[in-house]
Amino acid sequence: MKSRLPATPLEALSISGVLKFIVTTIHRCADVLGFWKHPSKKAAADFEDMSLLAKIYWGYKSKNPVLKGEKGAHLEAFFKNNKKALSLPNGFQEKYSVTFSAVGDLIKVEGLENSRDKLYEKVAGLIFAKDISYANLESQLTDRDIGAYTFSEKETPPLCLTKEQYDAIKGYREKQFTLMHTACNHTFDTGIEGLTTTLAQLEKDRITDLGTNRHAAEQQQGRIIEKNNIKIGFVSATFGLNGKVVPEGKEYTVNVVKFHPYQKKQADSKPDITLLDNQIAYCREQGCDIIIASLHWGYEYEFFPRQHQVELAHALVEAGVDVIVAHHAHVLQPVEYYRPQRDPDRTAVIAYSLGNLTTSFSAPHLVLSGVLNLTFVKGLVDGEEKTVVREAQLIPVVQRDFIAGDLPVIQLEQLETFLENKTREESDYISAVEGYAELVL
């Protein structure tokens, strides 16, 4: 399918001729020998930790996503056999309920400024008809000039929204997101100014921010939203900041947890999640009925999480988290239903990556994302008050781009609708999107 957008980040790569030759040669070898069909053990998640080879691997999988899990981890079979097992405890007497929607990365893309009231038109009910709606705001607002959107071996591009693009992405008509996660690897693309500008705008729009903080004490507290007599606590962190340095004395402004080991000597070490533990404890102290962890983590363009992510997700659930909503991989990953040892009556929902709801690229694996719909119910079990997840559904969504009135426009639609409108010209493209969806759903 023809698109005005570049297919993948490789088309926005700005490198020297010699390095381009090296990259092309290694990529061709990977095609022939297949040594990157499984996730690379030498990969790093943080840009500042990446060797040149790791960056070349990143570029390769941006075009050729990794469709298999780590060798020996058997994650494909693990997720295939992980059946949804949501059920209410025996004798549960429901009193209150809350509906919740979550989407992945909101990223700047040409045409957003023309897409207000069009972007969400076909999916608004999935997102904004819920009691609480959540998104990861990957692109910051800024008052500075935005640099060119190019990738190089030395730095990542700034992902900054104009005010007009933000106005289109923040909601649909009179509805808007309840809260936005603002801690990601692009949080400091324009330094403290971008963060300050973003938080000021969210506060003006009465959208709760999550993952970044105005005061030091907030970093240990998480956020709490109460709806329909159900109190929901949110804990959050990002894996890194693309090597950007937080001003001295301002370290509290963004929640950072080094989720991913990147050196051989660290391979068996566990990340320090004290920050998240403190936030969970705070939410418990405040009497939260449900705790949701918002995690910006993972390895980009890989359709399965790494084994250490699965182990860490389980550890967070055992520590008190009921739902994990994650993003950053830029592709859709499976949802796991995990029954914790701490409470056999409940099932935790773990969405390892919801993909990009909006994206600057048009390749089939990059336009596919998911909207997670959940229902929380509060009631009595043998006289004890308990709140659990009653319903969970992951609805695949596709980004379309087109020209309307000579202007580029972005619009989202459900995968089901996308497949029904298959034409001969788009057949291969649509089939590719469908194949990626079948891989993880």
Query: Domain tally for the chain?
Result: 1
H or E element that contains 105: strand 93-106
Q: Give domain status of residue 364, yes or no.
A: yes
Do 164 and 408 contact (CB within 8 A), yes or no? Answer: no
Q: What is the pLDDT along the chain (441 residues), one digit of tens a residue?
A: 578 899 998 887 778 888 889 999 999 999 999 999 999 988 999 988 899 999 999 999 999 999 999 999 999 999 999 977 788 999 999 999 999 999 999 999 989 999 999 999 999 999 999 999 999 999 999 887 776 666 666 777 788 999 999 999 999 999 999 999 999 999 998 899 999 999 999 999 999 999 999 999 999 999 999 999 999 999 999 999 998 989 999 999 999 999 997 755 455 568 899 999 999 999 999 999 999 999 999 999 999 999 999 999 999 999 999 999 999 999 999 999 999 999 988 999 999 999 999 999 999 999 999 999 999 999 999 889 999 999 999 999 999 999 988 999 999 999 999 998 777 668 889 999 999 999 999
Q: Give domain status of residue 17, yes or no.
A: no
366, β-bridge pairs? none
Structural domain of residue 139, as residue ranges?
A: 78-417
Q: Is the pTM of this model over 0.75?
A: yes
The whole-angstrom separation of Cα 420 and Cα 361 is 23
| Residue 408 CB neighbour total at 10 angstroms | 17
Predicted pLDDT of residue 213:
96
Q: Give domain status of residue 60, yes or no.
A: no
Q: Give domain status of residue 56, yes or no.
A: no
Q: Give domain status of residue 390, yes or no.
A: yes
Q: Give domain status of residue 299, yes or no.
A: yes
Predicted pLDDT of residue 10:
84
Task: Could you list the beta-strand ranges (E) of 239-363.
Answer: 290-296, 323-327, 335-338, 348-351, 356-358
Q: What is the CATH number of the domain that holds 110?
A: 3.60.21
Q: Give domain status of residue 250, yes or no.
A: yes
Q: List, as one string, the DSSP characters of 124-191.
A: HHHHHTSSEEEEEE-SEE-SSPP----B-SS-PPP-EE-HHHHHHHSEETTEE-SEEE--STTTTTTH
**In this structure, what token pair is assigned to residue 88?**
């209410």
Q: Give domain status of residue 83, yes or no.
A: yes
Predicted pLDDT of residue 148:
63
